[in-house]
Structure 1
Amino acid sequence: MKKLIAVAIFLAFAAAGVTYAGTRVEIKDSEQAAAEADMHRRYDHPKTEVVPNDQLEVVVTRDVIMHSCCMPPSLVVGGKITNISGKPIDYVHLHFAFEDKNGKILHGESLYNHHAESLSDDPYIQKILNEKPHFDPILPGKSDTFGFSVSCTELPVFSKIELFSNDIKQ
């Protein structure tokens, strides 16, 4: 009986040796691990989550942290909005909510779709450009874009970004 157990153990170790013979364990040196941690810290962030809207389809096409030699890093979010309602939409006022891990809103930003960007101009800019705020309606089935950029130095530490598009003028 002891011989049988010994043979079984020997065969088990032999099979395990053959199984793990080709396995490689990659050990990262401290410089490589530090470089990967730095890349993660500089470029990773919680991606923007779109809150659904029954009149619009909102698709985020760009959500990155941009770096430049001449300015601090910026969070850049861009996308496309499509009118899925049966009526023209004059403009869409988009709201970004930066939240902590408990869902508390720490910071907010807002913007208009590109065809209505002049709605956010202040009176001084309107005077310089010699124009009044205006918009081009988004017809049913048609699309427009939006773009957002904010310096990361102006943002608090956040765990979630939500994009609301419930401020629509029809």
Structure 2
Amino acid sequence: MKKLITIAILVAFAAASTAFAGTRVNIKDSEDAAAEADMHRRYDHPKTQVVPNDQLQVVVTRDVIMHSCCMPPNLVVAGKITNTSDKPIDYVRLHFAFEDKNGKILHGESLYNHHAESLADDPYIQKILNEKPHYDPIMPGQSDTFGFSISCTELPVFSKVELFSNDIKQ
């Protein structure tokens, strides 16, 4: 009986080795796999989605996580806004909403377009700079830019980022 089982096992191995002789298995080098996982962890994030506005065209030109040796990683979002209305726009306040997978807003940030950045200055900064808040209007068809940066350590884990431009002063 033992001889029969031994012969059966040898025949099975011989058949299996013949069947799998042409099979190739690609095994990722563990260092490459670790490096790839680290890249995804460090640089991947949900990209900013612009919510449309009929008076303004908003285009995101940069949406990255930037790393530095001297500070924590920052989420940097920059872009261009264009006045598509037929009236001048004094300023635009842009709102970022960081949401979870269910659409619940976890964190919010806002900023002004570059020509109106001084509107965000607090009274102490105004006193130091010795200037009053001001803005340069964006005429119909003209464009301006915006830039946003926040430390990733200040952000909760989010699944979606929406950019609203519904706070427009004409």
Q: TM-score range by the shorter chain?
A: 0.7 to 0.9
Aligned to 2:111: 111
Pair 1:91 & 2:91 matched: yes
- Which amino acid letter does the alignment assign opposite residue 103 of structure 2? G
Separation (CA, whole Å) in 2 of partners of 1:25 and 1:133: 65
- Aligned partner of 2:14 in structure 1 is none
1:24 Cα shift? 7.1
Deviation, structure 1 residue 25? 5.7
Structure 2 gaps of 5+ residues are: 1-21
Q: What is the aligned-residue RMSD (CA, Å)?
A: 1.3
Query: SS at 1:146's partner residue?
Result: strand
Task: Supply the distance in 1 between the matched residues of 2:26 and 2:52 (Cα, whole angstroms).
Answer: 43
Post-superposition CA distance 1:8-48 (Å, at most 9, x none): xxxxxxxxxxxxx8x97643111111110000000000000
**2:52 — aligned with what?**
52
Aligned equivalents of 2:89 and 2:56: distance in 1?
9
Matched length: 149
Instruction: Identify the residue that residue 150 of structure 2 maps to in structure 1.
Output: 150
Point out the structure with max Rg over C-alpha. Answer: 2
Aligned runs of 1:120-131 on 2, under 5 Å? 120-131=120-131
Q: Deviations over 1:91-127 (max 9, x none)?
A: 0000000000000000000000000000000000000
d(CA) in 2 for partners of 1:133, 1:126 = 7
Q: What is residue 3 of structure 2 aligned with on the other side?
A: none
1:81 alignment counterpart: 81
Query: Where does structure 1 differ by over 3 angstroms across 4 or more consecutive aligned residues?
Result: 23-26
CA distance in 1: counterparts of 2:66 and 2:155, whole angstroms: 14
1:161 maps to 2:167: no
- For 2:26 and 2:92, the matched residues in 1 are separated by 51
TM-score calculated relative to the size of structure 1: 0.85
Match of 1:15 in 2: none
Change (3 A) 1:25 1:82: farther
Partners of 2:123 and 2:26 in 1: CA distance: 61
CA distance in 1: counterparts of 2:145 and 2:51, whole angstroms: 17
Percent identity between the two aligned chains: 89
TM (norm. structure 2) is 0.85
